[in-house]
Amino acid sequence: MFQFKSIFGKLISAYYLIIIITFILLGSLLFGLLGEYATTEKEEVLRYTGEKVNELTVMLIDNYSPLVERLYRMNLESYGTNTQSLIIVIDKTGEIFAISNPRYSYLEGKKLTKEQYGEILSGKDFKRIGDLKGMFSETVLTIGLPLIYNNQVHGGILLNTPIPEINKMRYEVFKLFMIAVSVALCIAFILIFFLSQRFSSSIKMINKAAKTIANGQFQNRVSIVSEDEIGELAKTFNSMAESLENLEKMRSSFIANVSHELRTPMTTVQGFIEGIIDGTIPPDKQNKYLEIVLDEIKRLARLVHDLLDLAKMESGVIQLDIRKFDINELIRLSIIKFEKKIMSKDLKINVTFEDEQCMVKADMDGIQRVINNLLENAIKFSEEHGSIDIAVTTKGNKVYVSIQDYGIGIDEQELKYIWDRFYKTDKSRSKDKSGAGLGLAIVKNIINHHGQEITVESKLEEYTRFVFTLEKA
């Protein structure tokens, strides 16, 4: 039905073994307790009966007559029948005076040994399990009580009941217990079988999906909707598969983008230089085209520089030069740097500083690069005559820097991809001709290396706001 090497086989075997061992232990404990309970209960009944026989015997002694003796023996027989015991009454010499079962009347007049009646003639009672020193052919429970008359011992009472009679109740109760256990085991086996099968089938499904992903089929997902740990594992697996799929797409896109970004300027440079050498481009226009060549070479240099920096950041090679500086002053310098681009689009820059000076602890060059990149993007994607809001606020030991433009915005579905290398939103492609899609990836890595956070909010055709945190000095 199942292999013990599989998870299903191991689970169901372990469950069955635990249940069986539990029921065996429980049954053994119950069997012992039932025996103890039955013996104790029977002992209490015999002691109570012994007290009644004592009272009956005292009445016989006080009011002796043949009629009273006959009634005495009838009551004694009745007590013996009701308690399923053999009641023996002895005098103070150990001689049997009366016996409850007429079949044993031949024993009357015979003396019991001290080994048989014990210390009851000395006023001590006893409890014994055995054959009463050879008197019975089977094991019996014997309760011995002294016969008290006028506060003196005048004999003894021995109440004997067979152990099988005691065990009969125990076996009856245990029989019902075993029936209940059998039914419970059958139900438990069925439930455990299906639960284990369901558990193992989920694992098999995830394993199968993992194998397909290992073969490069990253689009495969598992459809487990349970709310338990298996469901969580399925969600994590699907998240991993999505990440791997995106990583594979990014890898392919990375190769394609790098090839494209390198090929385009190199083709341009090659074409213009060949045109100058073979005379296709006249001398009076050569300077113009050489300037284009220079721009393309600078663009290539920036691309290579950004790629190297990004690779160093992702590998953890770059060391941060942490020092204290005024973030407000750094923002002012960035605005001055882009003054020409700001004026060319007639943009209004709204700057809000909580304090005139705001000192932070960070790598100044890295944060300068972050601000420059975010501000350049804000300028690039703002409409002419628009505005850009820059704000610096503090909360606790954190400084929050916000840069917001009111341009084309970013679609909600694309927000989670903007930090990927070479990623450009569809709407940004028409406006971002010179960029390679590395800026935000570099920004994200710089902020992460500082142990800080950067978030983005955007609404298509309305605004885009980037907020990053720094440690307050």
pLDDT digits (tens, 9 = 90+) for 294-328: 877 877 777 677 667 666 666 666 777 899 999 99
DSSP string computed for 91-147: ETTSBEEEES-GGGGGGTTPBPPHHHHTTGGGT--EEEEESTTTT-SS-EEEEEEEE
pLDDT in the model for residue 359:
94
- CA dist 226 → 208, 231, 232 (Å): 18, 5, 8
- What is the phi-psi region of residue 235: left when phi exceeds 0, alpha when psi lies from -120 to 50, beta otherwise? alpha
State how far the Cα of 240 lies from the Cα of 242, in Å rounded to an integer: 5
CA-nearest of 463, 466, 464 to 453 is 466
3-state percent helix, strand, coil for the chain, nearest multiple of 5: 60, 20, 25
Question: Could you identify the residue written with the tokens 């014997």?
Answer: 142
pLDDT in the model for residue 424:
63
The model carries a pTM of 0.45
State how far the Cα of 365 lies from the Cα of 324, in Å rounded to an integer: 12
Query: One-letter amino acid identity for 257?
Result: N
* Homologous superfamily of domain range 322-472: Histidine kinase-like ATPase, C-terminal domain (3.30.565.10)
Tens of pLDDT, residue by residue over 402-414, are 999 998 888 887 8
Q: Phi, psi at residue 33, to the nearest 5°?
A: -65, -40
CATH of segment(s) 7-168 = 3.30.450.20
CA-nearest of 295, 267, 259, 262 to 275 is 267
pLDDT in the model for residue 433:
46
In which residue ranges of the chain is CATH 1.10.287.130 found? 249-315
In which residue ranges of the chain is CATH 3.30.450.20 found? 7-168
State how far the Cα of 354 lies from the Cα of 395, in Å rounded to an integer: 11
Per-position pLDDT tens, the chain of length 473: 444 456 666 666 777 777 778 777 877 776 666 666 667 778 888 999 999 999 999 999 889 899 998 999 999 999 999 988 999 999 989 999 899 998 888 888 899 888 888 889 988 999 888 888 778 778 788 899 999 999 899 999 999 988 765 566 667 777 777 787 788 778 877 777 777 667 667 777 777 777 777 777 777 777 766 666 677 777 787 788 777 777 777 677 667 766 766 777 788 788 888 888 888 888 888 888 788 888 778 777 776 776 676 666 666 667 778 999 999 999 999 999 899 999 999 999 999 999 889 999 998 988 988 998 899 999 998 989 999 999 999 999 999 999 999 988 888 878 877 877 666 654 444 445 455 567 788 888 889 888 999 999 998 888 999 999 999 98
Residue 191, both tokens: 């439930």
* CATH 1.10.287.130 is the classification of domain 249-315: yes
State how far the Cα of 297 lies from the Cα of 294, in Å rounded to an integer: 5
Neighbours of 396 (CB within 10 A): 6
In which residue ranges of the chain is CATH 3.30.565.10 found? 322-472
How big is the CA angle at 335 (ends 332 and 340), to the nearest 5 degrees? Answer: 145
Cα radius of gyration rounded to whole Å, the chain: 50
pLDDT in the model for residue 430:
44
